[in-house]
Amino acid sequence: MPHRVTAFLRPVSGITAKAPNDSSRPRPGNSNTSAESSDAEDHAAVRMHDFGLPFKTHKRLSKHFGSKPTAAAPKDSHPQQHTLFHHNHFHHSSPAPVALDWSIESPPIVFHGNAESSSGALVSGLMYLDVREETVEVDSFTATLRIHTTQKKPFHAHCFPCQNQYQQLKTWNFVAAPAVLPRGRHQYPFSILLPGDLPASMDSPLMSIAYEFTAEASYARNPCVSTSSIGPVKFERTLDVKRSIPAPENPHHSVRVFPPTNIKTTAEYSSVMHPLSVNKMSLRLDGLTSPADENNAVDVWKLKKVTWRLEETIKTKAPGCKLHAIAATNVPEDADNIKSLQRTEVRTLGEKHLLQGWKSDYNQQGGNVDLEFDFFLHKQKPNSRDLKFVCDTKTASGTEVSHSLLIELIVSKEHGHEGKTEWATPTGTGRILRMHFNVIVTDYPGLGVSWDNETPPVYQDVPPSPPSYPDECPEYPSMPGSPVLNVTSELLDADTLHTELQYRSSTDSLAS
């Protein structure tokens, strides 16, 4: 055993490899160890060291940038592996001679108002084509804006047309015919007026809507050779389109009655809320006390708990492609007969329980409770996988997003005497009063206004010349103690007026 460990730890430079002889191998029954068997074991140790040589060699080769070589690697050790390693790590492709970029000049894209009343949004910008060589022949340069709708619960799970629908809005042909462009930056303007009935960008658990802007430029390195076309350069960006609905001037007022009791609830709140703002709800409960059969006895409904919950309801239709829709319905190919599946999901955006915080007066006639609380959207955690809220929207394809505020009031019936309701005895009877209020969740309008309100005045509204002035000088009443000037119909110039003022002042000084 000692010579085996020594052979394994022996340095590589001090080992001489010898071919083992088959006749020199010891038999299993022989306990004596010969010199030939020791050489065979030494040769096996050499093989184990040689197995790690390629890794050491590659490690030394990967540090030749400015580093001092420590040992020379064998010339004939794994040439194919060295060539593959060197090719993958040190040979990089040259940069493309053409690059694309853009800049948006218009304000943030916001649809002001609902889909029926909005005038749309104006989008304008510049597309840049940077040429990095002396001359480059550009065959074509186009850009496209489209709406990409992704169904997360499609009609067919493994079908790309069922999952993705596209609606092309506009295409720009910046370079329609082949052209030779010199080195530098070349700019191409683009603009589009998005109709106000288009949906806003959204990302929900059922579907997502994105406005995709794509540009593509095909070029050739050598303008003299038309067959030297290279793969096109692509540019992809996403536009964030929002919708802002103005808040009403007056808050929404609602009255609810809960028979068979005499309880009446009056609610006052703002029907339009913004994601990061806090809305206030004012509630008033009347008719909480009623006379009982006994003398001076009353039944009191006391408020015990208030729960509010902000819910989001998403309804969408997942259309099927022509292949799967026809196979499912067995009807001829027709656009009106394409089948779609209805998808619905309800999720909670905010919730809170209140056990106190209201003012109650059960001794007054009828009894009443006044309550005010704030409702809002819960803030998401930075690394949360939950999707953001979706603003209220309604599209022609059947997608509808709405929000509602659900309020639950838990009241308990107690029996007591008139004027001493604080000593009332619980009867074990309770009720849950539920109320639904429609709420519109929308984005902030910001400082911008609709594009049609930003139009400058046209030339027809400007008068041809300044307004004319009358020849007669108007007469003004004089103040007490001030010199009186005899102003005639003739206009006085500046010199005459100055001379007359000096004369009047000298005359007044002599008289005094």
Helix axes 53-61, 35-51, angle to 10 degrees: 30
Share above pLDDT 70 across residues of the chain, in percent, rounded to a whole number: 64
pLDDT for residue 70:
46
Amino acid at 155: F
Taking the C-alpha atoms of residue 366 and residue 298, their distance in angstroms, rounded to an integer, is: 10
Sign of the dihedral defined by the CA atoms of residues 50, 56, 60, 61, in that order: positive
pTM for this predicted structure:
0.67
Taking the C-alpha atoms of residue 169 and residue 259, their distance in angstroms, rounded to an integer, is: 54
- pLDDT tens digit string along 64-112? 444 444 444 444 444 444 444 444 444 445 678 899 999 999 989 999 9
On the question of a cis peptide bond just before residue 2, with omega within 30 degrees of 0, the verdict is: no
pLDDT for residue 20:
44
Spell out the domains of the chain, with CATH numbers in brackets: 2-64+78-90 (no CATH), 98-244 (2.60.40.640), 264-380+387-441 (2.60.40)
- pLDDT tens digit string along 279-333? 999 999 999 998 887 778 888 999 999 999 999 999 999 888 877 766 555 555 5
Strands 252-258 and 393-394: unpaired
32-41, 107-116, 161-170, 442-451: which range is least confident on average?
Answer: 32-41
